[in-house]
Every structure is written in C-alpha cells, then in structure tokens.
Amino acid sequence: MPNLTIVGTQWGDEGKGKVVDYLARTAQLVVRFQGGPNAGHTVRVGDRQTILHQVPSGILTPGVRCVIGCGCVVDPHALGEETAALARMKLRARSRLTVDARAHLILPFHRQLDLLAEKHSRSPIGTTGRGIGPAYADKVGRVGIRAADLLPGREERFREKLKRNLAAANVKLMERYRAEPISFKKLAEDYWRATRELARMVGDGSRVITDALAEGKPVLFEGAQGVHLDIDFGTYPYVTGSSTGVWGVGPGTGVSPLWLEQAVGVAKAYSTRVGLGPFPTELEGEEGERLRKLGGEFGATTGRPRRCGWFDAGVVRASVRLNRLNALVITKLDVLDSFEEIRIGTGYRCGRQRLDEFDPTRADELEPVYETFAGWHETTGACRKLRELPMRARRYLRRLEELCGCPVALASVGSERRQVVEVKKEALRWLKSG
C-alpha cells in the first residue's frame, strides 16, 4: 500500500486539513511531522466543523491511528483541550494517538517569551504567539524538555530540568523585558498536572510508523504551515521554526526518506498569508477585501485577518521543485466563482531578468507579472466531476498546471468533506488505490 506526504505550497492555511480528511478514508495511520499548535487545520463533516491544532486530522476518521511525530513541539495544555473536545464528539483520541517520546514540550514561558519578543522587536515576525520559536530554540540549544521526561518515575528529574530552564527564562524576562519573574512552585505543579493526559499517550512514534510501513499499511504524513514558511526555504526571517516541506518528514518522524513514495502539494486557488513578510501578489485594496470576505480568510488559530492576493504560480512552482511533488490539490476554487476577472501571477521581473520561480532571497526585488482570465460566474460548490465544472474554471486549472509544472489531481469546491472534484486521479497512486 502507498504512503503519501501532504504539504502546503504557499504560506499555510491552504486547506491541508480538509485534504488530509478527504484522503484519510483509505489511511490506517496519519502522522504530523513538525510544527505545533501554531497550526490550525479546519475540517468540516456535514454541519460539524472541527479545528485541529496538534492532533492529526486523521483522528476524525474512525479506525485511523495517529502519531504526533518527534519533529513536533507539543503544548500539553492545548493538547488536553483538543482531546477533551474530541471526546465530547465521541471520538476517543487517547486510545488512537501516540506522541513520540522524543517530541519537545512547549513550556508556559515559551509562549510568554514568544509574545514579548514580538512586542519588543523593531521588526516583528507576526508569530502565532504559541511559543513555537522559543521551544525549537531550546531544542537546538540542547536544553529542551521532551515528552519522554513525563513518563512515570521521572517527575523529580523533570522538575530539575524545569527549574534550570525557568531560571534561564526568568533572566530573560527580568533583564530583557523588565517583566515579572515566574515562580517555580506553582508553575511546576500546574504544568505537571496538565501533562498527565499527554503522558498516557507517549510512545515510540518512529516504531509505530515504520512497523506500519513495513506491514504495507497506508500511511499519510500531514504537513503543517507551508513551504514558504520553512525555516530554510521560506522567506527568512518571516518563517516558522521547523522544516515544513517533505524533507521535514525524516527528522520529524524517525522514518527514513527512502520509505517515502509520493507527495502532494495543497494550493489555494489564490494566495493568503497571515503574519508579516514578503507577498508579491498581495492585494491591498477592495479586491483583497473581497477575497478575504468570500474566502472567510481569518486565521484558524489566532482569528487574525489573512492578507489576500492572486495565485502566484512562481511560489507554487518553487514548492513543486523543492518537494518533487507528484500532484497538486487546488482548494477554494469556489471562492473565485463570482469574480468578473481573475488574475494569476505567472512569474516576476527582477531588474532586467525574468524569473518563473519565487526566490525568497531576492523577494524585495521581485515584481510580479500577471495574466488575466475572464471569470466563470457560476456556482461550483455542487460539482463533483470534472465535466460539471464550468469550462472557464477547467481552463483556469489547466493553466495552473502548466505554470506550476505539476498535474492537478483534485480541486476542492467547498469546505465540506465531499466537496471535491477528481481532476486527474491517475496522478496519485493513493487515489487509484482508494
């Protein structure tokens, strides 16, 4: 059976949650490999909408097992809230979810330090304020506290590590930000209590995944954020703290890249970005507002309005090359239904050069070049077959394929699970076997 990696090709919020949920009906295991509660993956099944932050979207499909891989950073409070909400929906997350023992923990002061760094910076990033950067910094600084530290019999050692890390955080809080220090006793008690739910799910995620792969079970790797928020390949420093592309799967799961078969990139039919940083095709006026309104473009994690603009083929094309994507899924095609004119950024002028791929190291020099399409003025939300889509919508998808250099396997025409059009099923082995 195949395995498939799903990544965001833009700046996050492409609809990865919806796509993972759609594909999960034929999965036995769904794995998150990086990021933490900065992610917000929205899945709508019938009238019920669920926003998942840390738990893989596969949890909404009964019988599917899930893993939070070692490349993730885990916030025990937020995870507890998430599993409690799932339990209220009669979905027992705890018995189906493994958190890799090597995953690092987000500590309460990570969130505080994230927020203060943003507040006091002359050039903030616009982070989600979930403590992601400071948690990954501790990981690479080799002082992080991991899920394994929560196992039975390790409380004393955990408290010692927490005391050491809190002392370092308090120096920053007091000296850098003139903030009140945090007292150890209450923090240690509250935090330890909050970790009890998580502690029951700690296991060897790497082993769970490689065993499943070896047994030929179908495995989905669920990306979070987008390729252009990647710590290396994104618009640095306006990025997140982890590796958001297919290359993140290895270190983020403990699975050799030699296991990976195919990858699909999720792209919105236009572009959005939440937080600061370069965005060549951004629309600042009325058109941007119209996309935001029609697309409901407000952050699933922070509620912030998302910046909106036209589809930027150079951005997605770079993702296709970097990830060696086998196919694309174009989401939110229906949001363009009422536009008289639709534009696509086909590439850039950069001085006297013409570029067809987004280059984040020269982002300020890029001036997008556009192509204009006549809109289709029809509702697409009920379409399920390619031939049911308006001719101009099909033409739009074909042009995206050409410009991005990658076949479009699926198009999503609404937020509900079934609102999907199979465009080129043959592009993905996963779909053929499903």
Catalytic residues: 13, 41
Tracing tokens 């290396």 back to the chain, one arrives at 232
Counting contacts by CB under 6 A, is residue 309 touching ligand IMO? no
Candidates 6-14, 109-117, 241-249, 365-373; binding stretch for ligand GDP (CB under 6 A): 6-14
Closer residue to Mg ion in complex, CB, 161/268: 268
> What residue ranges in 69-218 does DSSP mark as E strands?
73-74, 97-100, 104-105, 202-203
- How is residue 406 written in tokens? 């990658």
Closer residue to ligand IMO in complex, CB, 65/130: 130
Which of 229, 266, 320, 389 touches ligand IMO by CB under 6 A?
229
Query: Which of 416, 371, 368 is closest to 396 using CA atoms?
Result: 371
Q: How far apart are CA 107 and CA 91, in angstroms?
A: 27
Length in residues, the chain? 434
Counting contacts by CB under 6 A, is residue 305 touching ligand IMO? no
Counting contacts by CB under 6 A, is residue 40 touching ligand GDP? yes
Q: Which does 128 bind (CB under 5 to 8 A by kind): ligand GDP, Mg ion, ligand IMO, none?
A: ligand IMO
User: What is the identity of the amino acid at 367?
Assistant: E
* Inter-residue contact 93 to 69 (CB < 8 Å): no
Candidates 122-130, 140-148, 331-339, 360-368; binding stretch for ligand GDP (CB under 6 A): 331-339
Asked whether the CA dihedral 94, 95, 96, 101 is positive or negative, the reply is: positive
Q: Which does 412 bind (CB under 5 to 8 A by kind): ligand IMO, ligand GDP, Mg ion, none?
A: ligand GDP
Counting contacts by CB under 6 A, is residue 21 touching ligand GDP? no
Closer residue to ligand GDP in complex, CB, 12/205: 12
Give the DSSP letter string of 273-298: E-SSS--TTB--SHHHHHHHHHHT-B
User: Please, what is the end-to-end C-alpha distance for the chain in angstroms?
Assistant: 10
Counting contacts by CB under 6 A, is residue 93 touching ligand GDP? no
* Inter-residue contact 345 to 279 (CB < 8 Å): no
User: What is the identity of the amino acid at 320?
Assistant: V
Residues in region 26-85 near Mg ion by CB under 5 A: 40
Which of 13, 197, 230, 401 touches ligand GDP by CB under 6 A?
13
* Inter-residue contact 133 to 101 (CB < 8 Å): no
Counting contacts by CB under 6 A, is residue 132 touching ligand IMO? yes
Q: How many CA atoms lie within 13 A of 135 on its CB side?
A: 32
Shortest reach from residue 308's CB to ligand IMO, in Å: 13
Which of 73, 264, 267, 274 touches ligand IMO by CB under 6 A?
274
Q: How far apart are CA 8 and CA 10, in angstroms?
A: 6
Counting contacts by CB under 6 A, is residue 54 touching ligand IMO? no
Residues in region 376-415 near ligand GDP by CB under 6 A: 412-415
Chain centroid to CA 164: how far?
A: 32
What residues make contact with Mg ion under the rule CB under 5 A? 13, 40, 300
What residues make contact with ligand GDP under the rule CB under 6 A? 8, 12-18, 40-42, 44, 296, 300, 331-332, 334-335, 412-415
What residues make contact with ligand IMO under the rule CB under 6 A? 8, 11-13, 38-41, 125-128, 130, 132-133, 224-225, 229, 238, 240-241, 274-275, 300
